[in-house]
Amino acid sequence: MNKPPVTTIDLIRHGEPVGGKKYRGHLDDPLSEKGWLQMRSAVADQHPWDAIVCSSLIRCQAFAQELATRHSLSCHADSRFMEINFGEWEGCTAEELLANDPEALYRFWSDPLNNTPPGAETLVDFEARVISGWNDVLKSYHNQHVLLVGHAGMIRMIIRHVLDMPLDRMFRLQVGLAGISRIIVEGEAESALPQLVFHGAPL
């Protein structure tokens, strides 16, 4: 009896960007020196992947391209894997937002589905674009092992989707800088069974 096909996707969050911790979203800050070290340390010399896919933002794409070049792998950047756009909160720290309007931030934390920041992307729209990209990765790299380099929100959205969590619970998932998660999808598309193998652990 033949074994069913298995598609393995490793999700890695980018390291620390220049400018430190803030609501960065679509701001295209590069990795800091510490961020590069975090990413390189997380992966080390391991390269079990057949291909690399990444967000089109530089804090993900620069490392993905470096790793792909080092191991002669294909690297595809996809804007659907960009972080959620925080609108008027882009570039602000949590401390700044709390000082300006603490209730707005608390409302977002407690019910992000119904408290979108001003001018920001809704969770529903964010879900639609990220899961569209995710489904295409599963089709394009069926029965392969892929590294997907992205953002905390993107990784939360994919794991939430795999685990069938309510959309407004996704921010309960913590995703550390350079943290790695693995999802395997067994079987053909119609009967595929996605499973979270590990989250936030080393390879």
By mean pLDDT, which of 8-22, 31-45, 98-112, 130-144 is the weakest?
98-112
How do strand 145-150 and strand 6-13 relate by DSSP bridges?
parallel
Order of strands, sheet of 180-186, starting from the edge strand that comes earlier in the sequence: 74-78, 51-55, 145-150, 6-13, 180-186, 193-199
28: Cβ contacts below 8 Å, ≥ 6 apart: 57, 58, 59
pLDDT score at 94: 93
pLDDT at residue 201 is higher than 80: no
CA distance 150 to 142: 20
Residue 37 carries which side chain, given as an amino acid letter? L
pLDDT score at 40: 97
pLDDT score at 190: 60
CA distance 188 to 115: 38
Distance from chain centroid for Cα 160: 11
pLDDT score at 4: 85
pLDDT at residue 202 is higher than 80: no
Residues 6-86+123-199: name the CATH superfamily. Phosphoglycerate mutase-like (3.40.50.1240)
SS3 78: strand
**Is there a contact between 175 and 156 (Cβ–Cβ < 8 Å)?**
yes
What would the mean pLDDT of 126-130 be, rounded to a whole number? Answer: 98
C-alpha angle 195-128-87 in degrees, rounded to nearest 5: 120
Q: Which residue has the tokens 């619970």?
A: 169
Q: What is the pLDDT of residues 32-88, one digit of tens each?
A: 999 999 999 999 999 999 999 999 999 999 999 999 999 999 999 999 999 999 999
pLDDT score at 102: 84
Return the domain boundaries, the chain: 6-86+123-199
- Full-model pTM: 0.95
What would the mean pLDDT of 175-186 be, rounded to a whole number? Answer: 96
Query: Could you tell me the pLDDT band of residue 189, with boundaries at 50, 70 and 90?
Result: low
pLDDT score at 34: 97
Query: Could you tell me the pLDDT band of residue 3, with boundaries at 50, 70 and 90?
Result: confident
Give 71: exposed, middle or buried? Use CB within 10 Å, 0-12, 13-18, 19+: middle
The CA radius of gyration of the chain, in Å to the nearest whole number, is: 17
Q: What is the mean pLDDT of the chain?
A: 94
